[in-house]
Structure 1
Amino acid sequence: MSYDPIAAASRRNQAVREARAAHTPEVGIWWIIDGELIADSIPYTETPEEVGFRAGRNDHFQFFATLQKLVPELRDAEYIDAPRGRVIYDVAQQQFLCYGSKQSASSPAQQRLILETFRLPADRTQFIPDLHYEYPNAAIFG
């Protein structure tokens, strides 16, 4: 029997739909723009484990190009201009790690937004400030 990429994609899409219907926590990347969280995420059970972690498929740079096409207000912005971060799953520790700016990691309102959007269990989620996610133009998006 030969590999059928259409059937494989269909099975994967069905698995993602079922995991989301079951409210499975998700991993991926996010931005907070004008008080709203924009995420590119996938149920953590539907991502391959790599070196002990499960992570989303896209990176900020690539996905922001897609957002710029969909949201005209972002056309002149850079992906680093807004608060952003990443959620990954640590398989060994069985916890979700949410990396973001110092503000995102310490803001109860932003934490709540991330927990809700990614369906993360608060008792198994750690918010970690990371200099990589500090944003130079915070005033642009507020």
Structure 2
Amino acid sequence: MNVGIFWVYAGQVFGALTPLSEAELGIPGMLDSPQNHVDAWPRVRSFLPQHLRDGEYFEIPRGRVLYSTTGLRAIVYMDATLHKKNIKAKVSKYFGLDQTKTSWRFDDHYTTDSTNLDDLFGEMDE
């Protein structure tokens, strides 16, 4: 099993995996990857189609997998657009998750909705 960050484009999951044995205790009771979307983006975008390579990391639906040491389960925070059975199955496979021991959650931090992005980052067109 792994924790880490991911994006989903055209039904494909890609990102940065951290084995659970190498995860860090961030929030008490939660194992997390030291990876973040901002720093990983320059490396992972090279695998995208050319027309997406100049985009920003937050323009493609994304998420993060954590592990609860108290609940003994994975917790996946991701863009609301990704909450579909087939995407959950692909994320589970990519990270080696047991879907019966995984909680799926929405998080506006991972949104691709332009209104929510404006709220998070300020007016993007200014």
Alignment TM-score > 0.5, same fold:
yes
Contact 2:24 2:33 in 1 (8 A): no
Aligned length: 112
Report deviation, 1:68: 3.2
Q: Which has the higher strand share?
A: 2
1:40 maps to 2:19: no
Task: Provide the secondary structure at the position in 1 that maps to 2:97.
Answer: coil
Cα 1:108–1:76, aligned 2, differ >3 Å: closer, same or farther?
same
Q: Percent identity?
A: 25
Deviations 1:45-67 (A, max 9, x none): 22132321111121001100222
Cα 1:88–1:75, aligned 2, differ >3 Å: closer, same or farther?
same
1:128 maps to 2:110: no
Report deviation, 1:77: 0.7
- Which runs of structure 1 show a deviation greater than 3 angstroms over 4 or more consecutive aligned residues? 68-72
TM superposition score normalised by structure 2: 0.81
TM superposition score normalised by structure 1: 0.72
Task: Provide the secondary structure at the position in 1 that maps to 2:55.
Answer: coil
C-alpha RMSD of matched pairs (Å): 1.6
The structure having more radius of gyration, on CA atoms, is 1
Structure-to-structure mapping, 1:1-142, within 5 angstroms: 25-50=1-26, 51-69=28-46, 71=48, 73=50, 74-104=52-82, 106-136=83-113
